[in-house]
Amino acid sequence: LEPKEEYGSKALAQDVMRPRRSDPPLAVLTQEGMSVGEVEAMVADTDYSGFPVVVCQESQRLVGFILRRDLVISLENARQRQEGVVSASLVFFTDHVPAQPTSGPPAVKLRGILDLSPFTVTDHTPMEITVDIFRKLGLRQSLVTHNGRLLGIITKKDVLKHMAQMANRDPDSILFN
């Protein structure tokens, strides 16, 4: 991400973020309501480095971001060290965990491993600014929101790929299209 030359692209964060229209939806966790088994299945079915955590599927309001490796280690730990944890145990990323019914399995509390202020840009943020922020803050990823709703994610690799694409194009078409 060396600032070697002027970045002339008029692209916006929404043009670079994933998922693309044809991609499967963003893999997100909800701050409550998911079981250990469901979270493990999401981790096993994807190879993303991290997952946004939202209030609920309907609102898509961002709560934080969790790294895949921290999630894997914490779930393994909970299974091994926390008495009674099974696939049906509920996972909570919330501040407050409601009392679990004494008959059911204990809850797993994971708020401690959540990044509560992940970097975000809006869908209309120009890529020029986004690239600058990635460079200056040394970001690995940024989340993309619209009116507080989580829309997507841009990783450092997405930014690099986008810049490589721009560099391969006729400079005029980048500046004036």
Cis peptide upstream of residue 118 (ω within 30 degrees of 0): no
- Using the minimum distance from each CB to ligand ADP, give the nearer residue, 19 or 148: 19
- State which residue, 85 or 143, has the beta carbon closest to ligand ADP: 143
Site residues (vs ligand ADP, CB under 6 A): 18-19, 26-27, 47-49, 51, 153, 155, 157-158
d(CA 177, CA 91): 47
Return the closest-CA partner of residue 109 out of 13, 56, 39. Answer: 39
Token pair 């309501």: residue: 33
- 71 versus 107: smaller Cβ distance to ligand ADP: 71
Give the β-pairing of 90-92 and 62-67: unpaired
**Cβ contacts of residue 57 below 8 Å, gap of 6+?**
28, 30
Of 51 and 107, the one with the shorter C-beta distance to ligand ADP is: 51
Task: Quote the least distance from Cβ 47 to ligand ADP, whole Å.
Answer: 6
